[in-house]
């Protein structure tokens, strides 16, 4: 039974502007879970974004997270874990028949794609932790703000998944093949590196948020999407600060060199051989890669290679297939168990080594299920 006294998982507000138009504000409202994206959240947010897109009175949309710590720390892994365990315990073999996982990934990816293609200015305020599914929400916004304490990462290698939510497409566009390094190591990015990597557009002080929102209500919106985009860019630029270059930029040459190898095995060996010295960021990246799922490393590399020739919509369709296979027979359930359920932090990865996680092994994760009428659930994305 639903708790009717529980606060809504997403708060929706509309505020009148000086020119008579309105600003729609969506706030992820689960600060205790660092605004982890649940299926209910994704459904509600997607439906409201569709309504605002069709409402001529809405000029600008803002997406933010409640609490001081995070915009969104990722997806709701607990519910996915329960669905994966139930599916496996039932002895099923059809990757489509885990109804919860199939719905979760479809709704999440559809929502992310909607944000990428949104017809109106959409401002995402990415404060604090922005990881995995949080990047999926933020990356497609036309106006992506990070603050001085933002920390972005794709940490899926630690839970046996891969950088999804369009991550295969996004990371393939990071300069100097550094996207592969980020996928393999889950290395966090501060505001300067997030902008450098193409995952954010501007850095604003968190203390300026109230002033920015007040300015949104004072602005004369309504000259058309292009003019409104330019107006929002100008508004944000008034408050923007220039963040310092982070370790991704400081180590750009070394990262480019290690990721220039053609074989994944050589890339992984080269990362492990980097001289970290007293650089905690490099050392943590090496440690995460060494402890992470070899299968996730192989899948992340294979997906970036394939996505290089795909559109964003095609990438979402490909990631959806691989995600269903990960939920069915990959390391995903084991990674969640070790990190969040038993919390022993000793996952038993299968395969246990990269030598065993061969390209031939990974090929099974790309086998498309036989959907009715041959139609992929995300076939309508364009």
How many alpha carbons fall within 13 Å on the CB side of residue 54?
5
For residues 178-195, average pLDDT: 98
| pLDDT surpasses 60 at 1 | no
Question: Kindly report the CA angle at 171 between 81 and 154, in degrees rounded to 5?
Answer: 35
Rounded Cα distance between 228 and 141, Å, is 14
Bridge partners, residue 143, by sequence:
123
- Residue 131 to residue 158: CA distance in whole angstroms: 12
Arithmetic mean of pLDDT, 75-101: 95
Question: Phi and psi of 353, rounded to 5°?
Answer: -135, 160
Report CA 234 to chain centroid distance, whole Å. 27
Q: Let me know: does 76 contact 42? Beta carbons within 8 Å.
A: no
pLDDT digits (tens, 9 = 90+) for 206-232: 999 999 999 999 999 987 889 999 999
Domain ranges of the chain: 10-374
Predicted confidence at residue 257, as pLDDT, reads 97
Give the Cα separation of 140 and 149 in Å (integer).
21
Q: What is the DSSP string of 50-62?
A: HHHHH-TTEEEEE
Q: What is the average pLDDT across 78-94?
A: 95
Mean pLDDT score of the chain, rounded to an integer? Answer: 96
pLDDT level of residue 186 (50, 70, 90 thresholds): very high
Which DSSP symbol is given to 15?
E
Q: Please list the residues that pair with 24 across neighbouring strands.
A: 14, 61
Strand partners of residue 26: 12, 63
Average pLDDT over every residue of 191-212: 98
> What percentage of the chain reaches a pLDDT higher than 90?
96
Residues in CB range of 330: below 8 A, 6 or more apart: 160, 161, 295, 296, 299, 365
Q: For the chain, what is the largest distance between any 2 Cα atoms, rounded to a whole number of angstroms?
A: 62
- Above 80 in pLDDT, residue 2? no
Angle at 357 between CA 73 and CA 376, to 5 degrees: 60
Residue 3, pLDDT above cutoff 80: no
Q: What is the pLDDT of residue 6?
A: 82
Is 102:377 a contact under the CB 8 Å cutoff? yes
Encode pLDDT of 268-318 as tens digits: 999 999 999 999 999 999 999 999 999 999 999 999 999 999 999 999 999
Q: Which residues pair with 64 in a beta bridge?
A: 27
Whole-number Cα distances in Å, 288 to 40, 81, 271, 294: 31, 22, 11, 11
Average pLDDT estimate for 321-344: 97
Distance CA 140, CA 294 (A): 29
Measured in degrees and rounded to the nearest 5, phi and psi for residue 148 equal: -65, -20
Superfamily for domain range 10-374: 2-enoyl-CoA Hydratase; Chain A, domain 1 (3.90.226.10)
| Structure tokens that stand for 171 in this block | 């990371």
pLDDT tens, residue by residue, 12-56: 999 999 989 999 999 999 999 999 999 999 999 999 999 999 999
CA pseudo-torsion sign 315, 199, 273, 330:
negative
- Specify the pLDDT at position 225: 87
pTM for this entry? 0.96
Confidence of residue 4 (pLDDT cuts 50, 70, 90): low
Contact 52, 115 (CB under 8 A): no
In this prediction, residue 374 has a pLDDT band, given cuts at 50, 70 and 90, of confident
Q: Which residues contact residue 19 at a Cβ distance below 8 angstroms, ignoring those fewer than 6 apart?
A: 219, 220, 221, 222
Q: Which pair of structure tokens corresponds to residue 139?
A: 């990356």
């Amino acid at each position: 039974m639903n708790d009717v006294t529980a606060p809504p998982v997403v708060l929706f507000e509309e505020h009148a502007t000086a020119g008579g138009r309105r600003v729609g504000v969506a706030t992820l409202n689960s600060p205790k879970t660092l605004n982890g994206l649940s299926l209910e959240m994704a459904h509600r947010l997607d439906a409201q974004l569709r309504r605002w897109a069709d409402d001529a009175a809405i000029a600008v949309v803002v997406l933010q997270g409640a609490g001081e710590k995070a915009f969104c720390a990722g997806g709701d892994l607990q519910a996915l874990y329960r669905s994966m365990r139930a599916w496996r315990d039932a002895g099923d073999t059809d990757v489509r028949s885990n109804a919860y996982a199939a719905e979760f990934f479809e709704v999440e990816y559809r929502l992310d794609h909607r944000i990428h293609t949104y017809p109106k200015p959409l401002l995402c305020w990415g404060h604090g932790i922005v990881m995995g599914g949080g990047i999926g929400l933020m990356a497609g916004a036309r106006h992506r703000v990070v603050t001085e304490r933002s920390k972005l990462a794709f940490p899926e290698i630690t839970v046996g998944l891969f950088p999804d939510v369009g991550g295969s497409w996004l990371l393939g566009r990071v300069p100097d093949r550094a996207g592969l390094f980020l996928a393999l190591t889950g290395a966090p990015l501060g505001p300067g590196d997030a902008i450098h990597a193409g995952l954010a557009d501007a850095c604003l002080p968190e203390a300026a948020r109230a002033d920015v929102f007040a300015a949104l209500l004072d602005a004369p919106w309504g000259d058309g999407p292009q003019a409104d985009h330019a107006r929002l860019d100008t508004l944000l630029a008034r408050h923007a600060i220039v963040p310092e270059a982070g370790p991704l930029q400081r180590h750009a040459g070394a990262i480019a060199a290690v990721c220039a190898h053609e074989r994944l095995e050589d890339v992984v060996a080269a990362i492990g051989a980097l001289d970290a010295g007293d650089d905690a960021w490099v050392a943590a990246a090496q440690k995460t890669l060494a402890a992470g799922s070899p299968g996730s490393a192989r899948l992340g590399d294979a997906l970036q290679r394939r996505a290089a020739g795909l559109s964003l919509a095609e990438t979402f369709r490909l990631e959806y297939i691989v995600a269903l296979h990960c939920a069915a027979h990959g390391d995903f359930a084991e990674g969640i168990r070790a990190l969040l359920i038993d919390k022993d932090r000793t996952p038993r990865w299968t395969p246990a080594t990269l030598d065993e996680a061969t390209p031939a092994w990974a090929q099974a994760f790309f086998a498309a299920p036989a959907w009715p009428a041959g139609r992929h659930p995300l076939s309508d994305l364009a």
